[in-house]
Amino acid sequence: MKTTLVCLAFLLAAAVLAAAPQAEERMRDERLCFQVAVPWSPRINLGADVAIPYGIDAGLPERIASWRRRGYTIHVMTGVAWGNYQDYLEGRFDGRKHWDEAQTDSQGNPILHGGWKEIPYMSPGPDYGRYLCVGIQRALDAGADAIHLEEPEFWAAGGWEGNFKREWQAFYHEAWQAPDSSPDAQYRASKLKYYLYRRALSEIFDFVREYGRAHNRVIRCYVPSHSLINYAHWGIVSPESSLIQVGADGYIAQVWTGTARTPNFYESRRQERTFETAFLEYGAMQNLVRASGRRVWYLNDPVEDDPNHDWNDYRFNWESTLTASLLQPEVWHYEIMPWPDRVFDGRYPARSVPETRSVAEAEKAPAGTGLNGVLRPRGDAELVPIPPAYATELQTVVRALGEMKQSDVRWRIAGTRGAGVLVSDTMMFQRAAPHPSDLNLGSFYGLALPLLKRGVPVEPVQIESATAPGFLARYRLLLLTYEGQKPPESRFHEALAGWVRAGGALLVVDDDQDPYHAVREWWNTAPLAYRTPRQHLFEQLGLARDAEGPHRVGQGIVVRAALSSAALTYQATGADIVRTLARQAAAAVRLEWRESNALALQRGPYVVAAGLDESVPEVQPAVLSGRFVDLFDAELPVRDHVDLAPGKRVLLFDLDAARGTPPHVVAAACRIRSERFDGAALTFTAEGIAETRGVVRVAVPRPPAKVLVAGKPVEDAEYDAASATVRLVFPNTVEPMPVEITLVGG
């Protein structure tokens, strides 16, 4: 009887495996995508669902066809703020030159993309959206299922071009003012820049929808965009949160080493904090779509735009951003990489050498360069192709990313939950002369990093979304400053006050000294006459305009410290001050305060974790214990414990979480399809990137009697009794290879 029950359980488990999500369901979900500027080739045979050919030039249909032949769903991406748009600039589009739509700085210099003389960032005039629609139609005619309109970016340093002056007159009904003439002029210039790209994108969205209706097709529109945090830090204006309202179906969160390694200050130290910055950037992008239910893909880049780092640097920072993205529990769509040809066919320095510049010189580097004065490859460094182990690791991780749609998602290690820092798109409106907000974006990082560094998975919370019913309900503790940003409308204060009265804890850190409080806005326009928007908020809360300290409001609490959050980042004790205030606010609403020197999230059978540096002092690193396959190691070793030391990044397959399931692939540096177990043998097909090494680990209850790949016995098949797994190693091929594992006694 016992044997019969065991057999029935085993057959039931086999049926569950057969019904598990396979590649076909994953493709319908469009879980994994990548952008690419070249046709398919064996060296970029990625295990993704969606290929996104880049550009709307005449060669686009051929590029689309090459990827469609390989079975990919096709989207198309093009730049919105820049591109090879000489036919528009030179007048071949409509008979009129449009060079006065090139973004221009105060010295009359065009602002160029990547230094290309003929490719300026555009100041979109009334005809620009119509011009882009012509190229977009080429993509639609070629059968694109979705359009991605990349990076609507207007530099804060721009605004002197002829088009912008005309648009100012039309928008404000007054003569143009130099943006650097006053805080009010700069703020108004940024609002106009925001509007101009929103208008251009709205026109394209409308065109795509109309085309879809005319051709009986559903065509979606997405916006690949940097995060609000990065755009503000780099001095760029973009219509971030407003694009859902004018037709965007979602975003690609363009967060990668290039954005996340931008140095910031914490406890008076300026340095790169790639993991923490990426965690906050990804969180900001998820917050954009949470209220709408739209989609967001998280981008990861195994290299980055700067070609002068070495392979070890690229790999460490990629693992940091990837880990940060996987620690966002609600997202399971990913852009696995941009430009795969530069990853698998590119050549970069083998190692870093000491940089000749001093730290002081490095700190003067422009925002976004990621230079911190420590290590940097020299121009004479040896250039080498991708290390084989990194190529294998990348394919292992890509397969795992496709499995992140899990029902069981929970924190294993984390500090206090339910905390957020309120942010607004207006953070981008105060980033240039005459009085730019803190150049290191300390007004934001001064509130967010003190919590994140102690293991609190704090979220940026979009002010523009906060008026949506129930949007704030997930939070127990919110931090707010109007230094460096302003509330775009008074309705936000009504929503925030209601949240506090219902039991929320609000910490306000603001000394009211921001010169942008005096810009012409709703809080100081008749019939209102508040010196700062914070005073209006406090009146909504029933508090004195200049109240400080803790104050009960309904069932909640408001704690106000008249301090500059940016200034606190330059103080060694600044983070402790913020944490003390946050603990005080949390205690008042009986929110337990917990700190940790690590973050670890369980996503079904996967464990994602990061050890934090600059964290809880004099505490031993957290440890994960169990049976884990290490997916950040190309050899896919099995580990019984993992120390989360400071700086450690971890992606694991938890064999114990998958205990009791029939034989199945748990990790693979290739794409696995048609996986089936019939009670005696496990079969599947494997395909990968040419000239790379396939490594596969399979859970099996007993040693296999036979292992065949492409019909031939595999010599390198190692069985590990402790983990009940077998590891296979073979050369990857671009055509699916059959694999068969027959069990002893099967």
The pLDDT value recorded for residue 614 is 98
Tokens (6 digits) for 13: 């488990």
pLDDT tens digits for 682-704?
A: 999 999 999 999 999 999 999 99
CA distance 412 to 422: 26
Rounded to a whole number of angstroms, the distance between the first and last alpha carbons of the chain is 20
Question: Which of 478, 534, 466, 589 is closest to 543 using CA atoms?
Answer: 534
CA distance 282 to 298: 7
CA distance 503 to 590: 10
Q: Is 232 left (phi over 0), alpha (psi -120 to 50) or beta?
A: alpha
Contact 67, 74 (CB under 8 A): yes
Contact 472, 289 (CB under 8 A): no
The 10 Å CB-count burial string (b at 16+, else e) for 364-374 is: eeebbebbbbe
- Cα distances from 718 to residues 355, 677, 682, 715, in angstroms, run 44, 20, 16, 9
In the chain, list all ranges with CATH 2.60.40.1180: 2-12+660-743
Contact 523, 530 (CB under 8 A): yes
CA distance 133 to 128: 9
Contact residues for 379 (Cβ-Cβ < 8 A; gap 6+): none
The pLDDT value recorded for residue 26 is 76
CA distance 46 to 44: 6
Contact 106, 189 (CB under 8 A): no
Residue 648 sits at the vertex; the CA angle it makes with 642 and 649, to the nearest 5 degrees, is 90
> How big is the chain by its Cα radius of gyration, in Å?
27
Contact residues for 71 (Cβ-Cβ < 8 A; gap 6+): none
Tokens (6 digits) for 576: 């402790």
Q: Among all chains, which residue has been given the structure tokens 């991406």?
A: 77
Contact 249, 553 (CB under 8 A): no
Length of the chain in terms of residues written: 746
pTM across the whole model = 0.94
pLDDT tens digits for 398-451?
A: 999 999 999 999 999 999 999 999 999 999 999 999 999 999 999 999 999 999
CA distance 461 to 448: 11
CA distance 103 to 109: 8
Tokens (6 digits) for 592: 């337990």
The pLDDT value recorded for residue 57 is 87
Strand partners, 53: 36
The pLDDT value recorded for residue 117 is 75
The pLDDT value recorded for residue 270 is 98
Tokens (6 digits) for 580: 């003390």
Q: How many helices (H) and strands (E) does the chain have?
A: 19, 35
CA distance 469 to 471: 6
Which run of H or E residues covers position 193? helix 183-214
Bond into 488 cis (ω within 30): no
Contact 90, 69 (CB under 8 A): no
The pLDDT value recorded for residue 48 is 96
For 421, other C-beta atoms within 10 Å of its C-beta total: 26
The 10 Å CB-count burial string (b at 16+, else e) for 648-680 is: bbbbbbbbebeeebbbbbbbbbbbbeebebeee
CA distance 661 to 16: 8
Which residue positions in the chain have pLDDT lower than 50?
1-20, 354-375, 746
633-641 LR contacts (CB < 8 Å, sep 24+): 633/393, 634/388, 634/389, 634/390, 634/392, 634/393, 634/396, 634/669, 634/693, 634/695, 635/695, 636/396, 636/667, 636/669, 636/695, 636/696, 636/697, 636/727, 638/697, 638/720, 638/722, 638/723, 638/725
- Topology of domain 2-12+660-743, CATH: Immunoglobulin-like (2.60.40)
CA-based torsion, 65, 66, 70, 75: positive or negative: negative
Q: What's the farthest any 2 CA atoms get from each other in the chain?
A: 90
